[in-house]
Amino acid sequence: MKDTVLTFAVAVLTIAVAADPTVYFKEEFDDGWSSRWVESTSKGNEQGKFKWTAGKFYNDPEKDKGLQTSEDARFYGISAKFDKPFTNEGKTLVIQFTVKHEQEIDCGGGYIKLFPSDLDQKNMHGDSPYYIMFGPDICGYSTKKVHVIFNYKGKNLLTKKEIRCKDDVLSHLYTLIVRPDNTYEVKIDNKKEESGKLEDDWDFLAPKKIKDPDAKKPEDWDDREKLDDPDDTKPEDWDKPEHIPDPDAKKPEDWDDEMDGEWEPPMIDNPDYKGEWKPKQIANPAYKGSWVHPEIDNPEYSEDAFLYKYNDIGAIGFDLWQVKSGTIFDNMLITDDEKYAEKFGEETWGAMKGGEQKMKDKHDEEEKTKRDEEEKKRKEEDDKKEDTDDDDDEEEEEEEGDKDKEDQDMDEKEDQTTKDEL
């Protein structure tokens, strides 16, 4: 009996241990974050600096601190290496982080990159080899998408699907799940936005089928569904001009043929005009349908059961360009457990979003009140200036009236003097 209980306990313990998530990397940007991250200097004076801040609105001023881009029109590069490199062979890979574009971003990236362990952190730049690039990218009204790019045999492959990102100023949770059965899922705010097979949605492999290069459309293949009716003829009275002289128009009485030329009435649409005649259409008795090019197996196609796999995952980083800075990144997680990632997202982003929204609403109301007060003050100053201008005008009118009276008195005096002399 004791042996049975012991065996059962060991089995339960084994299952529990096996079920524990593996966390390869987790970053909530606490006090010691700077010791784990290395900023790139590859762009020299064009390299932007990151700030450690919770931004303008948040739930907790300390817990919600993250990395924020701080300079407009700059490149940004910063990365952190894992305690040890790992492979996701036979395991699920989950990449997750939060992004807050509180600056109302107009053009710039908000994505992360997963790198091999030999990344040169100080010299990290846009051409540094990476495994996966994932996250939002916004530029103007036309580009508002989530990038999911996989590197496969040296080529960076973009997804064929359009996944729309969030474009407001609040924090949002972005999650990419890559499974060992070569399927994937993209979630935003812990809700599925897209999913499918890697082979279907990226050009990892050559197509399974190709058009048979030896097949040709038969010369007698007729793909015309309809034909002109050979028995249909154009009516004799069909041809009429499109425009005719206006029968109601009259030559103006003041029209001079010598000066104005020969008068011609204006043209109007002809009510009898029927347009170009075309024969009626009839079914083509020889119609065979649209010819479909036969396909054959592609000799260059080779199945790969490990499209999802990377052998030397060793670093994570941000390699960005932003026209308008202010994006905050936080709550980063790399794990092999989807449920753990979902739980971590709720404990971080989920716990923060309500307070952040509340503070933003308060911030917006304060900004509105400030604008209203400034507008009121400006209007009062304009009204005061207008009153002052009116007073000045009245004084000028009084002065002009006094001057006119003086001039009139002077004229009368001169007239009287002239009369006395006479």
**Do residues 121 and 200 make contact, with C-beta atoms less than 8 angstroms apart?**
no
Give the integer Cα–Cα distance in Å for 135 and 93.
15
Q: Please identify which residue in the block is written with the tokens 């492979």.
A: 87
Cα 53 → chain centroid: 25
Average pLDDT rounded to a whole number, residues 353-367: 92
Report whether 291 contacts 217 (CB < 8 A). yes
Q: What is the pLDDT of residues 126-139, one digit of tens each?
A: 999 999 999 999 99
- CB under 8 Å to 29, separation ≥6 — which residues? 52, 65, 66, 67, 330
Token duo for residue 310: 């990377």
* pLDDT band at 207; cut points 50, 70, 90: very high
Q: Is 359 within 8 Å of 57 (Cβ atoms)?
A: yes
pLDDT category of residue 122 using cuts at 50, 70 and 90: very high
389: left (phi over 0), alpha (psi -120 to 50) or beta: alpha
As a whole number, the mean pLDDT across the chain is 90
**What does the pLDDT look like over 371-418, one tens digit per residue?**
998 998 898 888 888 777 666 666 676 777 666 666 666 666 666 655
Is the C-alpha dihedral spanning 124, 128, 134, 137 positive or negative? Answer: positive
Q: Return the half-sphere exposure (C-beta side, CA atoms, 13 A cut-off) of residue 12.
A: 6
- Residue-wise pLDDT tens digits, 216-240: 999 999 999 999 999 999 998 999 9
DSSP label of 154: T
Q: How much is the pLDDT for 16?
A: 43
pLDDT > 50? residue 2: no
What is the model's pLDDT at position 194? Answer: 98
